[in-house]
A and B are shown apart, each in its own frame.
Chain A
């Protein structure tokens, strides 16, 4: 269980989060949505203790990340798999070695077991044959998926996905959405999914948290997202629907006018 309690964070004069509180329950899939620059990634980094809040607390399994000794924090972090927005792959290592990296340091698997596990993770993200390639030889979407494979390789209890489907084609996006659902249902993973992609939200999320102007404006079940009373969330949701409507307008515009 992850509990975020009243955290505030500024960088210099820029206030990014102000008094944000949020619970992520065991086994649920929580989507965090919000505009670009609203502080979603910053919030995620607080959850694994990469950033310290100016005020407030983050509890993971009842332990306060701000106050635990560093060694304890490291133990807590091993329960997490984190997909960074930019992938954060080690560019000096091949894809295979990236995924094998945490296994080599923190598991007791033999070399052949590691190989099998890495291949399994690559298969899960639909990238069976890129193990030998370096991150610089991969496309943006492929990098993202290798990073996802690395995040899940240790079978963590919590997975934080920072925009898992951004930059992916619709079909691959669906594969990733299915994977997130699969991990949650089969391995009882607790998932936090940061995304702009409303399709993905509807596919995977149990609950949605909407970050707007430094604060969580709305938190609720995904089913209520369409008829909530919050005007900002309404316009956010409508904006993504508008895109679909927009493309049909575009088609009709391209037809010869009578």
Chain B
């Protein structure tokens, strides 16, 4: 009973120690360069299409629905732009991307490390004298921290771009009206907060996935469990972090 109550805290401690060890091996980063580069491509570049797709749809839907909600002659149409652009930069662009990446990147990392664990490949790395924690985890977490902001930018550009395009095609909002509205209420704080969130989400998704994967136990079922848990936990903590950043910085 007490044991199961303490379990989450034990897991948190184990997680903190593991990620701490990964960052402590930063002095050996020269050995991990190549790995870091590979992970940046896998986590970042390879995720561009799916992130762009999600951003395009959310940008389009947001524009259409905002326009629908503000369909009165008393509100200038430019307001649509003033609502859509900050919403994407502040929240939608980064959270939608975060969820997509929790599934795509998180699950992939957990499955990869989990398979290495159950097939003793991690043991093989250790026995050769490599620091498996540094070698496997540090490049993935760093790649997440570096590449999520890049994907965030992609997400914003595509999302807002699609929003403008939708208004134009739908004939309810001209390009210049959208841009004028967006410019009118633009604050540098919006993209800055989005950026902070993307860094946080990058860390959350990759570090949780590494933790789950690294401590996988027991065969194919174990790998399946780790993969699912990595994706689910990442999503939960993305929501928590989203709220925390908003409360702290707004």
Binding site for B on A (CB under 8 A): 45, 48, 50, 70, 74-75, 77-78, 80, 82, 84, 86, 88-91, 101-102, 105-106, 154
Contacts and interface: CB of A to CB of B under 8 A. Distances in A.
Q: Which of B123, B126, B127, B129 has the most CB of A within 10 A?
A: B127
Nearest to A162: B120
Majority-rule SS of B interface residues = helix
Interface in B75-132: 115-116, 119-121, 123-124, 126-131
Contacts of B121: 88-91
Interface residues on B, range: 10 to 19
Interface string B115-154: 1100111011011111100000000000000000000000
Q: Which of B31, B128, B131 has the most CB of A within 10 A?
A: B128
Contact of B128 (A70, A89, A91, A101): A101
A50 B132 CA distance: 12
B129 A75 contact: yes
A78 B31 CA distance: 16
Contacts of B116: 90
Contacts of A77: 126-129
Contacts of A45: 123
A50 B126 contact: yes
B126 A78 contact: no
22 contacts: A45-B123, A48-B127, A50-B126, A77-B128, A77-B129, A80-B127, A84-B123, A86-B119, A88-B119, A88-B120, A88-B123, A88-B124, A89-B124, A90-B116, A90-B124, A91-B115, A91-B119, A102-B128, A105-B31, A106-B128, A106-B129, A154-B128
A105 B130 contact: yes
A99 to B, nearest CB: 12
A36 to B, nearest CB: 17
Given A50-B126, A90-B124, 8 more contacts: A45-B123, A50-B127, A82-B124, A88-B120, A88-B121, A90-B121, A105-B31, A106-B129
A42 to B, nearest CB: 12
Contacts of B131: 70, 74
A91 B122 CA distance: 12
Contacts of B115: 91
A101 B120 CA distance: 16
A104 to B, nearest CB: 10
A89 to B, nearest CB: 8
Contacts of A80: 127
Contacts of B126: 50, 77
Which 9 residue pairs are nearest across A and B when measured between Cβ atoms?
Answer: A88-B120, A88-B124, A78-B129, A74-B129, A82-B127, A77-B129, A102-B128, A84-B120, A50-B123
A78 to B, nearest CB: 4
Contacts of A91: 115, 119, 121
B29 to A, nearest CB: 14
A163 B127 CA distance: 17
A91 B119 CA distance: 10
Contacts of A101: 128
